Amino acid sequence: MNIREFMSKDHKDCDMLFAKAENAASTGDWETAGQACNEFIQAMNRHLGFEEQGLFPAFEEATGILTGPTEMMRMEHDQMRSLFVEMNDALEKQHSDDYLGAAETLLIMMQQHNMKEEQILYSMMDQRLSEDASYWQQKFNDWEKQ
Amino acid sequence: MRADLSLQQAPPFSVPARFLVSAPLFGILAALILLWNGPEIISHRWTPEILAVTHFLTLGFLAMSMLGAMLQLLPVLMGMIIPRPIFFSSLVHTPLFLGSLILGMAWLLQVDKLFIIAAALLSLSFTVFIVVVAERLLRSANRHVTRSMMLLALLALFITAALGITLSMGYGWQSFPLARQLTDLHLSWGLFGWVLLLIISVAYQVIPMFQITDEYPVLHQRLMGWTVFVAMLNLSMAYLWQLENLKTISIALLAVCLMVFALATLWLLHKRRRQLVDTTMRFWQLAMVSLLLLTSCWLLTHLINIELSIFLYGVLMINGFAMTTINGMMYKIIPFIIWLHLSVHNKNLRNKDKRDSQVKVPHMRKIIPEAAGLWQFRFHLVSVILLIVATQWPFWFFYPAALALAASQTFLLFNLLKAVRFYNTRLNELSTII
């Protein structure tokens, strides 16, 4: 699998966790929602952290582009993180409309962000990074252990 | 390489907003003309009043909102940037708004010169839009099937507009022949070329993303756009050279495409990972059911030879399918871009170390509450059902249908304007801090 394939697959895995949490919150099952949302945010933080500390610096070094797409992606990561905080607040208060509203906003933010990465940025990484994809995949698999 | 790095954020808020807020104004206008004129305007096929109503809906509501939504979605879906977006969107929006209005007035007031003015304004709007967007799409590095389908949709828009302008010249100038035989071609390219292709191309991306479903089957995605386009080319030949068999085959092929798309979409939605039924999802379901009804009616008329009103097809395609889809999409686009723009302004404050002054950015359900969207959906559903039955029994249902359309469009306008006002208020709060 190249970078685009394994990172896109991780996007899909995160989507599933998102849906699980949202489904539970929409039926008022706050215990399941809490666990699933926690799992989702952990998986997202792992994904975002790997990009920000692993893939993006390597891309910036390989291309010399510091203020281009990676800067924009970092900014969008921050926007997503602010929504994680809102979702957690709503979970604590068991406020269904606030949870579902923040989650819906995150879903659109996250999907349009993923699309830019999947359709443009990851392919550029596959072309430009000096290490091959298996190196990055291994690094990603080990990431949670760090 | 630099051209491929177009990962910029959305265009300024006013760019899509001006188009999306204008759309229900034309919906209301169409309903008022129906109410003013009464059921006799559907007593035969093309009365001037019904032509005005149809164009308020297709140009004023559909083209208006579709161009606006494209300007918002293209940077995200296709990674492309429109240069000088505010200038460009004014150059498209203003003549489209005025041209649609004047075209309707030309029929209602029976003033020939207005047809010429409308044709000039609409030519300007569509030419600017098609040339700039097609050029950007052709240069886009994106190779998703959506790109080629959008290009086909733009080509269909060009054909529709060219035919429409030829027809309006016939109305406007005595010496220019009125080519009424082009009417069917004009409406077919508009509804089954431009509208259908664009909605399908967007559905391929937004349904899997926002409802968390599987992708549409690869073969379906690859074949659909071209099949619809080839069917439309065949249909054009059939109209131009009066080939009845080719006409039936082309319409059958289109009907199969509509049915396959509608069933595939309903199936994906049925198997979606998100179990939450949001308002946009209800709009998608209603739109797909309308497409299935449309194809079923067409089949019925051919198999058991019953006569159905031509207006039934129009209502199912324009109100049931196209307006429904767009109405649903508005409830995702408007609240999300408001959130996006406000959160960017908030970030600017953070960068200026004014962390204490930040305004809490409200999530989407605070911008347009779920209940407001859901109730407007119910009004819209009632209007579609009443319009369908009104095409068969106008004596009983014409006025209730027109009233329901007016109510649903007013409700939509109210929801959108409330969201825009909310945005302006929050932006003012932020601006005074900055």
Q: Chain A: nearest CA to B218, how far in angstroms? A: 17
Using the beta-carbon criterion (under 8 Å), do A107 and B210 form an inter-chain contact? yes
**pLDDT one-digit tens code per residue, A18-74:** 999 999 999 999 999 999 999 999 999 999 999 999 999 999 999 988 878 899 899
- pLDDT for B347: 76
Nearest-by-Cβ selection for A102 from B212, B276, B363: B363
- pLDDT for A95: 95
Using the beta-carbon criterion (under 8 Å), do B205 and A97 form an inter-chain contact? no
Confirm if A120 and B5 have CB atoms less than 8 A apart. yes
Please report, in tens digits, the pLDDT of each residue of chain B (434 residues total): 333 333 455 789 999 999 999 999 999 999 999 999 999 998 887 899 999 999 999 999 999 999 999 999 888 777 778 889 999 999 999 999 999 999 999 999 999 999 999 999 999 999 999 999 999 999 887 778 889 999 999 999 999 999 999 999 998 887 777 777 899 999 999 999 999 999 999 999 999 999 999 999 999 999 999 999 999 999 999 999 989 999 999 999 999 999 999 999 999 999 999 999 999 999 999 999 999 999 999 998 888 878 888 999 999 999 999 999 999 999 999 999 999 989 888 777 776 666 565 667 899 999 999 999 999 999 999 999 999 999 999 999 999 999 999 999 999 999 999 999 999 999 888 777 65
Question: What's the start-to-end Cα distance of chain B, in Å?
Answer: 36
Write out chain B residues lying below 8 Å of A82, CB-based: 343, 361
Please classify residue B43 by burial: count the beta carbons closer than 10 Å to its beta carbon, then call 0-12 exposed, 13-18 middle and 19+ buried: exposed
Using the beta-carbon criterion (under 8 Å), do B9 and A72 form an inter-chain contact? yes
Instruction: Phi first, then psi: give them for residue B396, nearest 5 degrees.
Output: -90, -40
Chain B interface includes A68 (CB < 8 A)? yes
Q: Which domains does chain A have, with CATH numbers?
A: 3-143 (1.20.120.520)
Q: Alpha helix (H) ranges present in B110-144?
A: 112-139
Residues 78-117 of A with CB under 8 A from B: 78-79, 82-83, 86, 97-98, 100-102, 104-105, 107-109, 111-112, 115-116
Angle at which helices B394-433 and B370-392 cross, to 10° = 160
Provide the token pair at A122.
Answer: 């990851």
Confirm if B160 and B122 have CB atoms less than 8 A apart. no
Give A145's pLDDT tier (boundaries 50, 70, 90): low
Using the beta-carbon criterion (under 8 Å), do B79 and A23 form an inter-chain contact? no
3-class DSSP state for residue B142? coil
- pLDDT for B4: 36
Provide the token pair at B12.
Answer: 């300024």
Using the beta-carbon criterion (under 8 Å), do B275 and A69 form an inter-chain contact? no
| Chain A residue whose CA is closest to B140 | A120
- pLDDT for B45: 78
Of B87, B60, B57, B58, nearest to B71 by C-alpha is B87
Q: Chain B: nearest CA to A107, how far in angstroms? A: 7
Of B219, B272, B229, nearest to B250 by C-alpha is B229
Of A80, A19, A24, A20, nearest to A47 by C-alpha is A80
Nearest-by-Cβ selection for B76 from A23, A82, A112: A112
Using the beta-carbon criterion (under 8 Å), do B365 and A97 form an inter-chain contact? yes
Separation CA B186–CA B298 (nearest Å) = 19
Neighbours of B9 (CB within 10 A): 15
Is pLDDT larger for residue B139 or for residue A98?
A98
Of B191, B88, B155, nearest to B96 by C-alpha is B88
